[in-house]
Amino acid sequence: MNHRSLKGELHDDDRRPSAAPPSRSRPPRRPLRARLSGLLAAAALAALGCAGSAGHPASSAPPPAAMTPAQIAARATPAVVTIRGDGSLGAGFLVREDGWIATNFHVIAGMPDLKVVLWDQSEHPVLEVLAFDEDRDLAIVRIHAPRKLPLLPLGDSRAVRPGDPVVAIGHPLGLADTVSNGLVSAVRVVDPALTLLQISAPIAPGSSGGPLFNERGEVIGVAAAVATQGQNLNFGVPADYLKRLLVRPDPVPLSTFAAETADEEQALPAVKRSVPHHALAILRGCTEGDLLVLARTMDGAIQVGSPLYNQGDFASCYHIYEGASLDMERRLGPSCRGPRQALAEGRRKAAGLDDNAAQAWAMRDAFDGLLDVILRKVHGDTQ
């Protein structure tokens, strides 16, 4: 397990794990995108039959009664959270009532300022990273718990078999609880140190780090997703890896963790942002379904386009954003005129620019302006 400590002091309050052992020197880090791409590419190859798969025998003890996806969602949703950072959006879930939250490593890596949004829409800053496993894309963070918080039970991921039912829950953009169900397609042995759960349940953009449940409502995995060869292949990191982190907390302040895990960025063109600030009136006439179309499509386009831009493929990023804009306009209801006009204005502005990097940012500005006004509406702002 790639579990390392970083230098730093604990803070906030006295409800914390025991002191961390002395820091160890850190080996050179591969860029985060390369590590994630390698992990997910290996998983995709396994799904295509280029690596082994393995199942585990079921326990001989009589299992608890099965629950429907609706029952699982009703019980579990209060313990599923949204995690927001500058340019980062993901999900997580409570594993201890005093504010311990499990999520993906990539959701928090390099982020010096993270907020956790609970089910009641209250926001809480992440104070420290309690443990992380870089190679398996797992992390545990802590917030100050204002009261005892609901938590989710962890199941036995070693007992998971292909064909078992699975339920995924996430909070993309905080707009609504997103519940999907399906089957465990395979248990993929990527390498001797990593096994992943391949699932048919779709995972919504922005929900990486959310829980995957068995039919008894126990967490058997942590969600991740990758698209390959035109197909959406969804994967979960088994919960047993998470259990190992929970018994070995090694806390560091978020600022220290962010500095140590930041990507080494390549030189990119200088950018002058021009994000429009829309009044809430721009959403007049838009239904909740329209807002979901906007939020999910823009978030999905950013998740695909942003890595391409950071790799220097500005043209592909721009075309993804432009295509997403046109797709949203076709899908919005006839009375949702404001967002349609804002997207058209973004495309008009981009078309008048002379390089792909600037065009990509013009579309991203249009997206960020709409995402901002949607979030303000969801969180009850009046202006």
User: Is residue 3 in a domain?
Assistant: no
User: Is residue 8 in a domain?
Assistant: no
User: Is residue 5 in a domain?
Assistant: no
Phi, psi of 315 (to 5 degrees): -65, -45
Number of domains in the chain: 2
User: Is residue 166 in a domain?
Assistant: yes
pLDDT at 172: 57
Please report which confidence band the pLDDT of residue 70 belongs to, taking 50, 70 and 90 as the band edges: very high
CA nearest to 297, candidates 336, 338, 343: 343
Looking at residue 358, the DSSP 8-state letter turns out to be H
Q: List the catalytic residues.
A: 106, 137, 208
State whether 139 and 194 are in the same domain. yes
d(CA 357, CA 47): 34
User: Is residue 185 in a domain?
Assistant: yes
pLDDT at 165: 96
Question: What pLDDT, in 10s, does the model give residues 176-232?
Answer: 578 889 999 999 988 888 999 999 987 766 678 999 999 999 999 999 865 544 455
Residue 232 or 277, more confident: 277
Percent of the chain whose pLDDT exceeds 70:
77
Question: What pLDDT, in 10s, does the model give residues 1-53?
Answer: 444 433 333 333 333 333 333 333 344 444 454 455 555 555 555 555 555 55
User: Is residue 16 in a domain?
Assistant: no
Q: What angle do CA 87, 313, 275 make, to 5 degrees?
A: 40
> Which of 230, 261, 292 lies at the terminal end of a domain, its last residue?
261
Residue 101 or 232, more confident: 101
State whether 248 and 298 are in the same domain. no
Q: Is 342 helix (H, G, I), strand (E, B) or coil?
A: helix
d(CA 131, CA 201): 28
Please report which confidence band the pLDDT of residue 264 belongs to, taking 50, 70 and 90 as the band edges: low
- The residues near 1 (Cβ < 8 Å, ≥ 6 apart) are 133, 135, 136, 193, 241, 244
- The residues near 302 (Cβ < 8 Å, ≥ 6 apart) are 364, 367
- The residues near 316 (Cβ < 8 Å, ≥ 6 apart) are 305, 308
Please report which confidence band the pLDDT of residue 65 belongs to, taking 50, 70 and 90 as the band edges: confident
Amino acid in the structure at residue 77 = T
Residues 232-237 have a mean pLDDT of 82
Domain that holds residue 131: 32-261
56, pLDDT greater than 50: no
Which residue matches tokens 């010096």? 112
d(CA 194, CA 228): 20
CA distances from 133 to 125, 145, 239 (A): 21, 24, 12
Task: Specify the CATH number for the domain of residue 95.
Answer: 2.40.10.120
Question: What pLDDT, in 10s, does the model give residues 130-184?
Answer: 999 998 999 999 999 989 999 999 999 999 999 999 999 986 555 557 888 999 9
CA nearest to 20, candidates 253, 262, 242: 253
User: Is residue 17 in a domain?
Assistant: no
Count other C-beta atoms under 10 Å from residue 204's C-beta.
25
Phi, psi of 79 (to 5 degrees): -100, 0
Tally of residues, the chain: 383
pTM of the model: 0.63
State whether 54 and 130 are in the same domain. yes
Please provide the average confidence, as pLDDT, over all residues in the chain.
82
User: Is residue 344 in a domain?
Assistant: yes
Phi, psi of 191 (to 5 degrees): -155, 175
Order of strands across the sheet that contains 123-125: 123-125, 115-117, 80-85, 88-96, 100-103, 138-142, 128-133, 252-253
State whether 40 and 126 are in the same domain. yes
> Which of 199, 234, 261 lies at the terminal end of a domain, its last residue?
261
State whether 57 and 160 are in the same domain. yes
pLDDT at 337: 95
State whether 372 and 284 are in the same domain. yes
> Which of 200, 233, 261 lies at the terminal end of a domain, its last residue?
261
pLDDT at 371: 93
